[in-house]
Chains A and B, each alone.
Chain A
Amino acid sequence: MELPPKVKNILLLDSEGKRVAVKYYSDDWPTNSAKEAFEKSVFTKTQKTNARTEVEVTALENNIVVYKLMQDLHFFVTGGEEENELILASVLEGLFDAVTLLLRGNVDKREALDNLDLIFLCFDEIIDGGIVLETDANVIAGKAGINSTDPNAPLSEQTISQALATAREHLTRSLMK
Chain B
Amino acid sequence: MAQPLVKKDDDHDDELEYSPFMGIEKGAVLQEARVFNDPQVDPRRCSQVITKLLYLLTQGESFTKVEATEVFFSVTKLFQSKDTGLRRMVYLIIKELSPSSDEVIIVTSSLMKDMNSKIDMYRANAIRVLCRIIDGTLLTQIERYLKQAIVDKNPVVSSAALVSGLHLLKTNPEIVKRWSNEVQEGIQSRSALVQFHALALLHQIRQNDRLAVSKLVGSLTRGSVRSPLAQCLLIRYTSQVIRDMANHGQSGERPFYEFLESCLRHKAEMVILEAARAITELDGVTSRELTPAITVLQLFLSSPRPVLRFAAVRTLNKVAMTHPMAVTNCNIDMESLISDQNRSIATLAITTLLKTGNESSVERLMKQITNFMSDIADEFKIVVVDAIRSLCVKFPLKYRSLMTFLSNILREEGGFEYKRAIVDSIVTIIRDIPDAKESGLLHLCEFIEDCEFTYLSTQILHFLGIEGPNTSDPSKYIRYIYNRVHLENATVRAAAVSTLAKFGFMVESLKPRITVLLKRCIYDSDDEVRDRATLYLSVLGGDGTVDTDKESKDFLFGSLEVPLVNMETSLKNYEPSEEAFDINSVPKEVKSQPLAEKKAQGKKPTGLGAPPAAPASGFDGYERLLSSIPEFAAFGKLFKSSLPVELTEAETEYAVNVVKHIFDSHVVFQYNCTNTIPEQLLERVNVIVDASEAEEFSEVTSKALNSLPYDSPGQAFVVFEKPAGVPAVGKFSNTLTFVVKEVDPSTGEAEDDGVEDEYQLEDLEVVAGDYMVKVGVSNFRNAWESMDEEDERVDEYGLGQRESLGEAVKAVMDLLGMQTCEGTETIPLNARSHTCLLSGVYIGNVKVLVRAQFGMDSSKDIAMKLTVRAEDVSVAEAIHEIVASG
Binding site for B on A (CB under 8 A): 1, 3-5, 16, 18-19, 21-23, 32, 35-36, 45, 49-50, 54-59, 66, 84-87, 89-90, 110, 113-114, 116-117, 120-121, 124, 128-129, 131-135, 143-144, 147-149, 151, 176-177
In the complex, the answer to whether A86 meets B166 with C-beta atoms within 8 Å is no
- Determine the interface band of chain B, counting residues with CB < 8 A from chain A: 35 or more
Q: A84-B232, A90-B270, A149-B43 given. 11 additional CB < 8 A pairs? A: A35-B60, A57-B310, A59-B344, A85-B314, A87-B232, A117-B47, A121-B88, A121-B89, A128-B167, A147-B84, A149-B44
- Measured between beta carbons, the chain B residues less than 8 angstroms from A35 are 60
Cβ distance A137 to chain B, nearest Cβ, rounded Å:
14
In the complex, the answer to whether A18 meets B167 with C-beta atoms within 8 Å is no
In the complex, the answer to whether A3 meets B342 with C-beta atoms within 8 Å is no
- Measured between beta carbons, the chain A residues less than 8 angstroms from B59 are 19
Cβ distance B111 to chain A, nearest Cβ, rounded Å:
16
Indicate if B106 sits at the interface (CB-CB under 8 A). Answer: no
Contact with A along B1-36 (1 / 0, CB 8 A): 100010010000000001111000000000000000
- Measured between beta carbons, the chain A residues less than 8 angstroms from B330 are none
Q: Looking at the complex, which one of A18, A66, A87, A128 makes contact with B128 (CB distance below 8 Å)?
A: A128
Contact with A along B376-389 (1 / 0, CB 8 A): 01000000000000
- Measured between beta carbons, the chain A residues less than 8 angstroms from B304 are 54, 176
With A3-B240, A87-B229 as given contacts, are A116 and B60 in contact (CB-CB < 8 Å)? no
With A50-B341, A117-B47, A128-B128 as given contacts, are A55 and B306 in contact (CB-CB < 8 Å)? yes
Contact with A along B79-113 (1 / 0, CB 8 A): 00000111011001001000000000000000000
* A-facing residues in B338-360 (Cβ within 8 Å): 341-344
In the complex, the answer to whether B200 meets A3 with C-beta atoms within 8 Å is yes
Indicate if B236 sits at the interface (CB-CB under 8 A). Answer: yes
Q: Could you show 7 A-B contacts with beta carbons less than 8 Å apart?
A: A1-B236, A18-B5, A54-B306, A59-B344, A85-B311, A113-B19, A149-B89
B274 and chain A: residue at smallest CB distance: A84
Q: Looking at the complex, which one of B54, B159, B307 makes contact with A55 (CB distance below 8 Å)?
A: B307
Indicate if B305 sits at the interface (CB-CB under 8 A). Answer: yes
Indicate if B58 sits at the interface (CB-CB under 8 A). Answer: yes
With A58-B344, A120-B51 as given contacts, are A3 and B236 in contact (CB-CB < 8 Å)? yes
Binding site for A on B (CB under 8 A): 1, 5, 8, 18-21, 43-44, 47-48, 50-51, 54-55, 58-60, 62, 84-86, 88-89, 92, 95, 121, 128, 132, 156, 159-160, 163-164, 166-167, 193, 196-197, 200, 203-204, 229, 232-233, 236-237, 240, 269-270, 273-274, 277, 304-308, 310-311, 314, 341-344, 377
A110 to B22, CA, bound (A): 12
A4 to B193, CA, bound (A): 13
- Measured between beta carbons, the chain B residues less than 8 angstroms from A86 are 269-270, 273, 307-308, 311
- Measured between beta carbons, the chain B residues less than 8 angstroms from A32 are 1, 60, 62
In the complex, the answer to whether A132 meets B5 with C-beta atoms within 8 Å is no
Q: Is the interface of A mostly helix, strand, loop or mixed?
A: mixed
Q: What are the 4 closest A-B residue pairs judged by CB atoms, nearest first?
A: A86-B270, A147-B84, A32-B60, A4-B200
- Measured between beta carbons, the chain A residues less than 8 angstroms from B343 are 58
In the complex, the answer to whether B307 meets A110 with C-beta atoms within 8 Å is no
A128 to B163, CA, bound (A): 7
In the complex, the answer to whether B5 meets A149 with C-beta atoms within 8 Å is no
Cβ distance A75 to chain B, nearest Cβ, rounded Å:
14
Cβ distance A99 to chain B, nearest Cβ, rounded Å:
15
A62 to B590, CA, bound (A): 34
In the complex, the answer to whether B277 meets A117 with C-beta atoms within 8 Å is no
A1 to B86, CA, bound (A): 39
Cβ distance B374 to chain A, nearest Cβ, rounded Å:
15
Q: Looking at the complex, which one of B1, B20, B121, B203 makes contact with A113 (CB distance below 8 Å)?
A: B20
With A3-B233, A84-B273, A134-B193 as given contacts, are A56 and B1 in contact (CB-CB < 8 Å)? no
- Measured between beta carbons, the chain B residues less than 8 angstroms from A120 are 51, 54, 58, 92
Cβ distance B344 to chain A, nearest Cβ, rounded Å:
4
In the complex, the answer to whether B89 meets A117 with C-beta atoms within 8 Å is yes
Cβ distance B27 to chain A, nearest Cβ, rounded Å:
19
With A5-B232, A149-B85 as given contacts, are A56 and B306 in contact (CB-CB < 8 Å)? yes
Cβ distance B503 to chain A, nearest Cβ, rounded Å:
44
- Measured between beta carbons, the chain B residues less than 8 angstroms from A147 are 84-85, 88, 121
With A3-B203, A4-B233, A149-B44 as given contacts, are A57 and B307 in contact (CB-CB < 8 Å)? yes
Cβ distance B195 to chain A, nearest Cβ, rounded Å:
13
- Measured between beta carbons, the chain A residues less than 8 angstroms from B166 are 4, 129, 131
- Measured between beta carbons, the chain A residues less than 8 angstroms from B193 are 133-134
A18 to B58, CA, bound (A): 11
A177 to B236, CA, bound (A): 26
Q: Looking at the complex, which one of B21, B92, B160, B307 makes contact with A66 (CB distance below 8 Å)?
A: B307
A32 to B51, CA, bound (A): 20
A23 to B54, CA, bound (A): 11
B268 and chain A: residue at smallest CB distance: A86
Cβ distance B299 to chain A, nearest Cβ, rounded Å:
14
A58 and chain B: residue at smallest CB distance: B344
- Measured between beta carbons, the chain B residues less than 8 angstroms from A54 are 304-307
- Measured between beta carbons, the chain B residues less than 8 angstroms from A49 are 341-342
- Measured between beta carbons, the chain A residues less than 8 angstroms from B196 are 132
- Measured between beta carbons, the chain A residues less than 8 angstroms from B240 are 3
Q: Looking at the complex, which one of B1, B20, B270, B344 makes contact with A87 (CB distance below 8 Å)?
A: B270
With A5-B229, A32-B60, A143-B121 as given contacts, are A110 and B54 in contact (CB-CB < 8 Å)? no
In the complex, the answer to whether B200 meets A131 with C-beta atoms within 8 Å is yes
With A86-B269, A90-B270 as given contacts, are A57 and B20 in contact (CB-CB < 8 Å)? no
